[in-house]
Amino acid sequence: MPKNTFGGNKAKGFKNSGPIKETELVIKSRDQEYAKVVKLLGSNMVDLQCFDGVKRLGLIRGALRKKCWISLNDIVLIGLRDYQDNKCDILSKYSQDEVRNLIKLNQITGSFENSSLDNNKNNNSILQEISENNNDECGFNFTFDEI
């Protein structure tokens, strides 16, 4: 009998070994809009800043719930509702490469993408100031005679 080199069931070794499929870039249609995730609220709900300037409450639809993880500052495609202007449904999430392609196609402006980078730069500068303040002397001078 041949030796099992996969360690366990042989069928499991070939389960996810297929080629990575390239998905087609989805462009918005008439009842859709691009948005940036501002805050994660829980219960499959997020606060969104839409590219048309309106803040909306986004609901992650069932097909995306356990398959596509949405995090802060992600760019998503939303479906607008006719009967509720302040709520929407999240249809898909864009990767960073897809966001760059959307910027090249002039579908979205680079300001939303750069704003997340600016926030990271601000956070880094704040962390640098804190570390510089921690390196300063505390103002106490001790001599061995006092101790």
pLDDT, position 42: 87
Q: What is the predicted pLDDT for the residue at 60?
A: 93
β strands within 17-119, DSSP E? 32-42, 45-50, 55-60, 75-80, 87-93
Domain map of the chain by residue range?
Answer: 29-132
CA–CA gap between residue 97 and residue 1 (Å, rounded):
47
What is the pLDDT confidence band of residue 116, given thresholds at 50, 70 and 90?
very low
The one-letter code for the residue type at 34 is: Y
Highest CATH level, class, for 29-132: mainly beta
Higher pLDDT, 138 or 54: 54
pLDDT digits (tens, 9 = 90+) for 47-60: 999 998 899 999 99
C-alpha span between 113 and 118 (Å, rounded): 9
pTM for the full predicted model:
0.63
